[in-house]
C-alpha cells in the first residue's frame, strides 16, 4: 500500500528507511515475526539503486536464481512481501529522527509525514546516489530530453544515434547492450584506456573492429542543438583539435556522487559515511535502531545483496524482542511451521 503525506503521526511497529532489496526483504523477515512496517524512500518506486540505476542489467549472485534483472528481483520481492501489506511512502526523504519520551522514535520526512515506531531500520544503501553531471555549460537544458544519466527502459533508445560518454563499467555495459537496438552507438572517452571489466573492453574493441560500433577518443566539451534537442556533440582531442560528432541521444556515465543526506544527523555513530553495527543483530550505537545492507560497516563486510538479506534476518530476530517484549522468540522454519505458513497464506502443501 502507498500512502500520501500526512501531518497526523502514523503509528507502526517498525519504519524502514530505504525500499531497495534489503529494505524489502526486511519487511518479509519482520513480518514473519509479527512486526508491521512502513517504508520511506526518496524514489518514486521500490527497488532502490538496484532498480533505478540497473533495472535491466543482469544479476547473477542471488541464491537459487541463476539470473535476474534489478526490476525482476524487485518484482519478486514485492510479491514475497504481499502477505504483510507494508505501507510505502515514496518520493520522500527521511529528514529527521528523534526519541519520544516513551522510548519510541519519531521520523519526519521532507514532505511532512510523521511516523512513530518502536524500531528503525536504516536500509539506505550507500545513501542517496546522484549521477555526476558532466562539466558542460548549458547541459541542463538537454537533460531528460536528449541527455540521460541512466537507462531505465532500453526501448526508449531503439533506433537512436547514441553517444555514450564514459570509460567505466556502466558506459561499456550499455554500449554493448544498446548496440543491437540503436541506429548507431559511439563510445566517447578521454583516453584509450578503460576502467571497465576486461571482458567488456574486449567485446567493445571487437565490435569497433567489425564496424558495428564507433570509438572516439577525446574530451566531450559541449552539446549542440536547440530547445533541448541535441544534434551533435563537440569533442576536443589532446592536440586541442575540435570536431563535431552527430547524435540525437547522449548517455553520460561519469560516476556517482554519494550523499548520505539527513541520516548523518540522526545521532547514530558514523565512520567514513557508513554506520558501524554489531554482527550479532546489526544494531547501531542507538538501541532499537538497526542498519542493514551497504549503509552499514563491520569487520569482514561484503557489499552483496545476499549479505543484506542475512543481516535482515538477524535484525528481525532482535527487533521482535523490542516490539513484543512479553513474548518469547521461537525460531521456526517456513517449510514446517503451520504458524508461518498461515502468515504467508500457504497451506503447507505448497511449501513442502
Count of CA atoms in the C-beta half-sphere (13 A) of 194: 26
Question: What is the Cα 246 distance to its own chain's centre?
Answer: 33
User: What is the β-pairing status of strands 87-90 and 256-259?
Assistant: unpaired
DSSP conformation letters of 207-265: HHHTTSSEEEESEEEEEEEETTEEEEEEEE-TT--EEEEE-SEEEE---EEEE-GGGGG
pLDDT-derived band at 351 (thresholds 50, 70, 90) equals very low
Question: Percent of the chain having pLDDT more than 70?
Answer: 91
- Tell me the per-residue pLDDT of 29-66, one tens digit each, with 9 for 90 and over: 999 999 999 999 987 789 987 776 667 788 999 999 99
pLDDT value at residue 92: 86
41, 19 Cβ separation under 8 angstroms: yes
- Asked whether the predicted pLDDT for residue 232 surpasses 80, the reply is yes
- Provide the grid cell at 8: 497526523
For 177, how many CA atoms within 13 A lie in the half-sphere containing its CB? 19
Average pLDDT over residues 337-348: 87
Q: How confident is the model at residue 127 (pLDDT cuts 50, 70, 90)?
A: low
Domains of the chain, CATH where assigned? 10-129+257-344 (3.50.50.60), 133-254 (3.50.50.60)
For 154-189, the pLDDT digits (tens) are 899 999 999 999 999 889 999 999 999 999 999 999
Collapsed DSSP state (helix, strand, coil) of residue 162: strand
The pLDDT value recorded for residue 261 is 63
Higher pLDDT, 264 or 336: 336
Residues 6 or more apart in contact with residue 319 via CB below 8 angstroms: 14, 30, 33, 35, 119, 121, 288, 290
Say if residue 99's pLDDT is above 60: yes
Question: What is this structure's pTM?
Answer: 0.66
Mean pLDDT of the chain: 90
Spell out the SS3 assignment of 286-328: CCCEEECHHHEECCCCCCCHHHHHHHHHHHHHHHHHHHCCCCC
pLDDT of residue 291: 95
Q: Read off the pLDDT of residues 275-305 as tens digits, 9 standing for 90 and up.
A: 999 999 999 999 999 999 999 999 999 999 9
d(CA 236, CA 324): 64
Q: Estimate the crossing angle of helix 21-32 against helix 70-80, to 10 degrees.
A: 20
Q: How far apart are CA 273 and CA 292, in angstroms?
A: 14
- Give per-residue pLDDT as tens, 321-333: 999 999 999 998 8
Q: Residue 260 — very low, low, confident or very high, per pLDDT cuts 50/70/90?
A: low
Is the model's pLDDT at 352 over the cut of 50? no
Task: Indicate the burial class of 277 (C-beta count within 10 angstroms; 0-12, 13-18, 19 or more).
Answer: buried
Strand bridging mode 296-297 / 275-276: parallel
C-alpha–C-alpha distance, residues 296 and 325, integer Å: 26
More confident residue, 5 or 9: 9
Q: What's the mean pLDDT in 138-144?
A: 94
Q: Distance between CA atoms of 123 and 292, rounded to whole angstroms?
A: 5
The answer on pLDDT for 72 being more than 50 is yes
Amino acid at each position: 500500500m502507498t500512502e500520501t503525506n500526512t501531518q497526523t503521526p502514523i503509528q507502526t511497529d517498525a519504519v524502514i528507511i530505504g525500499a531497495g532489496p534489503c529494505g524489502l526483504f526486511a519487511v518479509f523477515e519482520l513480518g514473519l515475526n509479527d512486526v508491521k512496517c512502513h517504508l520511506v524512500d526518496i524514489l518514486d518506486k521500490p527497488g532502490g539503486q538496484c532498480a533505478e540505476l540497473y533495472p535491466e542489467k543482469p544479476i547473477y549472485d542471488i541464491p537459487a536464481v541463476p539470473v535476474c534483472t534489478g526490476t525482476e528481483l524487485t518484482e519478486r520481492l514485492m510479491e514475497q512481501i504481499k502477505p504483510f501489506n507494508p505501507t510505502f511512502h515514496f518520493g520522500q526523504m527521511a529528514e529527521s529522527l528523534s526519541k519520544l519520551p516513551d522510548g519510541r522514535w519519531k521520523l519526519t520526512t521532507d514532505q511532512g509525514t510523521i511516523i512513530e515506531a518502536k524500531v528503525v531500520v536504516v536500509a539506505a544503501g550507500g545513501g542517496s546516489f546522484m549521477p555526476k553531471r558532466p562539466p558542460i555549460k548549458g547541459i541542463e537544458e538537454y537533460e531528460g530530453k536528449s541527455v540521460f544519466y541512466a537507462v531505465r527502459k532500453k526501448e526508449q533508445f531503439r533506433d537512436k544515434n547514441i553517444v555514450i560518454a564514459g570509460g567505466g563499467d556502466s558506459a561499456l555495459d550499455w554500449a554493448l547492450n544498446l548496440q543491437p537496438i540503436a541506429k548507431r552507438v559511439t563510445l566517447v572517452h578521454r583516453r584509450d584506456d578503460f576502467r571497465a571489466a576486461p571482458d567488456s573492453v574486449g567485446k567493445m574493441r571487437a565490435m569497433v573492429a567489425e564496424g558495428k560500433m564507433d570509438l572516439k577518443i577525446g574530451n566531450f566539451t559541449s552539446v549542440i542543438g536547440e530547445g533541448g534537442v541535441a544534434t551533435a556533440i563537440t569533442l576536443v582531442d589532446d592536440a586541442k583539435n575540435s570536431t563535431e560528432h552527430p547524435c540525437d541521444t547522449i548517455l553520460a556515465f561519469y560516476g556517482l556522487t554519494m550523499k548520505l543526506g539527513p541520516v548523518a544527523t540522526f545521532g547514530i555513530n558514523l565512520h567514513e559515511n557508513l554506520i558501524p553495527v554489531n554482527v550479532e543483530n546489526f544494531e547501531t550505537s542507538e538501541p532499537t535502531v538497526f542498519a542493514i545492507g551497504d549503509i552499514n560497516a563491520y569487520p569482514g563486510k561484503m557489499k552483496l545483496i545476499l549479505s543484506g538479506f542475512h543481516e535482515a534476518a538477524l535484525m528481525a530476530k532482535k527487533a521482535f524482542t523490542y516490539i513484543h517484549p512479553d513474548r518469547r522468540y521461537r525460531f521456526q522454519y517456513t517449510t514446517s511451521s503451520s504458524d508461518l505458513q498461515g502468515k504467508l497464506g500457504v497451506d503447507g502443501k505448497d511449501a513442502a
